[in-house]
Amino acid sequence: MTVSIPFRLMRKVLAALLVPALTCSPLLSQDQAEYTFRVESEMVLVNVTVKDKNGNFVGNLKPEDFTVLEDNKPQKIVSFDLENVDAVAMQTVPQAKTLSNGPATNQPPQQPQATPAASDADKFADQFKDRRLMILFFDLSAMEPDEIDRAVTSAEHYVDTQMAPADLVAIVSLGSALLVNQDFTSDRDLLKKQLRAFGEGSGQGYEEGTTGTTEGTPDTGQPFTADDTEYNIFNTDRRLEALRSVAEKLSHLQQKKSLIYFSSGMDRTGIENQSELRAATNAAVRSNLAIYTMDLRGLQALVPGGEAQNASLRGTSPYSGQSMINALNSNFTTQETLVTLASDTGGKAFLDSNDFTQIFKGVQQDTSQYYLLGYRSTNTAKDGRYRRISVKVKLPGLKIDYRRGYYAAADYKHSTKEDKELQLEEELASELPTTDLPLYLNAAYFRLEPMKFYVPISLVVPGSQIPFTRSSDRDKATLDVIGMVMDSEHHPVTRIRDTVKLAINTASEVQKKNVQYDTGVSLSPGKYHLKFVVRENETGRMGSFEADFVIPDLKSLPLKMSSIVLASQLQPAKKGSSSNPLIRDGEEIVPNVTHVFSSGQDLRLYYEVYDPSRVNAPGVVEGAASKTGIHLLSSVAFFRGKAKVFESSQVELTSLNVRDRKAGVFQLDLPLNSLKPGFYTCQVNVIDDAAGQFLFPRLALLIRPQAKTSAPSGTN
């Protein structure tokens, strides 16, 4: 016997999104599709530079000359390679593609190239052997036009005078979207053409917002200063997500990659951006990508009264010295994140300098010659903790340089609250469904006003898939629910986020039943796309379900009818849910999502008819102004194949029983004990006798034999 038990501790209907969803291009041109197969590898890569006392690179070492320790425990070197970029012959290096499997954004369309097959893996890897891989990342969302000019000028100077034959350079930009402007190439003309495309109109001119106070801000004549803290958090997360996307795209290349990040600083708001910062640095470390950060503001002269182009500062802070302290603190915080990105990924930060060419020299020096050591950590715990790396050389008198550590991968139990929330957000935005946790969804519509409908949404998870933990005298579990309703253009309309806590006397009661979560939203007629993700919080398994949903414009229909809800249970109505049409007389109808019933249950059907035609009262002349009454007829028939096996008695409505919504409501209760177990087609007959209109919607359902012993149904 399968009975749906709705666990509904909270019903939330959130308003439309105030901030658009975070969207970053997957580093592919829009006319191409990519299929990604993920393979986890526990290989830890360490780039090691060894120099003698004169500063010359030592290039004749072997694996046995190195000792690698992780948290003071020796590790076995399983991969060893010497990358010698300086040894590349002075010849034209062919263009190679890895950021996108197709043409660059500014190139004419070509036929998409297939990813190299396993037999061609060595040839594909040889394209990047002994190459210096550099990505120029222009953060246009955080730079003014003059700062973009400085970045472009320094990059053009590098291409003209510093670019070596072994250099393969790619150009990436972040404006309204993350774009691959030029894939890896050594062609100077292609690079300069793209750099020139970053004109003065490219800058977004973004400035860090305020916290709502007017003290110490320029007096522009506006008495109110908006609090932009949440926007700052979103903007920083978006930029960190873009860096992570680039790192993940390059993870299939073992060589050291260098990303030069051009920006005017990056501010973090407390710990709100910590999760995304950790994700970006971890992705870079796993991909062997070093991030070199450049502050395009250069050497700044901070003055107590503010810059000349700004209005005079409000308040007393210009006279107390607080404005100067605030300016220094602001400059420091925007540079601190750049330093963190560089130091945690093995790169360097170039700050407070007007010589923007030094960053290219630093990258070339760090990647000219180095050893690439790989090992599999003996610590298999996925605890997300920082692990310190120590590399030693047996030969005396040598100086070595390497990355000092990394953060281990974290399983679900060891993930932080921020990481878990980010996991839900990423799954909601993912184009590929997750099926680790079975999930079923059902939605219906009921008219509240002429252009407003209530949409009850039900999610069902099999109880056997939810692990419970024993606490005191009850079994407990929690489910995280996140969902989004999008319009026909896939723009977010409504967002739902909830955590459901389950607590029962014994988990065995749920094993043969379903756990159901119900919520609802208000929508206007149109086409929508629903996507929901549910995660059980013991092992972190997730399931997603998405479907298209249409709310018809009933004005054009001769017989206006709602969805039909099938149910077998009622539960006490929650307070504050008066807009839900499924609540009547203090009880709420619990939709049956699976349409599976037991022969010992009663089948409840609920549906509504709107604006039915009226009939003349007795004795009133046809066409007279006074008309009263309606005449709606309805019944339910069951079919097995083409044969009708049962039909209920006819129900008649002669007046609107929900006048405020101009609806005639049918609520039928049919016992199923007279029907044999099996599959049925349930046909609902609805007739508007006054208008001569009728509808015969059909639904499929399954009647199962009644179990000899079964736990009583109930609600929680």
| Look-up of token digits 């079923």 | 440
Q: 299 vs 312, which has greater pLDDT?
A: 299
Query: What pLDDT is stored for residue 146 in this prediction?
Result: 85
* pLDDT tens-digit map of 540-577: 999 999 999 999 999 989 999 999 999 998 888 877 66
User: In angstroms, rounded to a whole number, what is the distance separating the alpha carbons of residues 76 and 376?
Assistant: 7
User: In angstroms, rounded to a whole number, what is the distance separating the alpha carbons of residues 322 and 408?
Assistant: 42
The percentage of the chain sitting over the pLDDT mark of 70, rounded to a whole number, equals: 73
Question: Is the separation of the CB atoms in 151 and 117 below 8 Å?
Answer: no
User: In angstroms, rounded to a whole number, what is the distance separating the alpha carbons of residues 280 and 248?
Assistant: 9
* pLDDT tens-digit map of 178-228: 899 999 999 999 999 999 888 655 555 444 554 445 545 554 545 544 445
Mean pLDDT lowest for which of 188-202, 463-477, 651-665, 701-715?
701-715
Which residues lie closer than 8 Å to 60 by C-beta, 6 or more apart? none
Mean pLDDT of the chain: 79
In angstroms and rounded to an integer, the radius of gyration of the C-alpha atoms of the chain is: 33
Confidence of residue 234 (pLDDT cuts 50, 70, 90): confident
User: In the chain, what are the domains?
Assistant: 1-27+421-554 (2.60.40.3880), 89-108+124-382 (3.40.50.410), 557-716 (2.60.40.3880)
Q: 212 vs 337, which has greater pLDDT?
A: 337
* pLDDT tens-digit map of 63-91: 999 999 999 999 999 999 888 876 654 44
Residue 119 has pLDDT above 50, yes or no: no
Quote the pTM value: 0.61
Residue type, 147: E
CA atoms within 13 A on the CB side of 704: 11
Confidence of residue 461 (pLDDT cuts 50, 70, 90): very high
| Cα dist from 642 to 29, 638, 696, whole Å | 52, 10, 15
Average pLDDT over residues 610-619: 75
- In 3D space, the residue among 198, 205, 134, 137 whose CA is nearest the CA of residue 173 turns out to be 137
Q: 235 vs 499, which has greater pLDDT?
A: 499
Question: Is the separation of the CB atoms in 204 and 141 below 8 Å?
Answer: yes
Question: Is the separation of the CB atoms in 690 and 615 below 8 Å?
Answer: yes
Residue 389 has pLDDT above 90, yes or no: yes
The one-character DSSP state at 202 is G
Confidence of residue 10 (pLDDT cuts 50, 70, 90): very low
* pLDDT tens-digit map of 261-287: 998 888 766 566 777 888 888 889 888
Query: What pLDDT is stored for residue 609 in this prediction?
Result: 96
Query: What pLDDT is stored for residue 252 in this prediction?
Result: 82
Query: What pLDDT is stored for residue 25 in this prediction?
Result: 34
Query: What pLDDT is stored for residue 68 in this prediction?
Result: 95
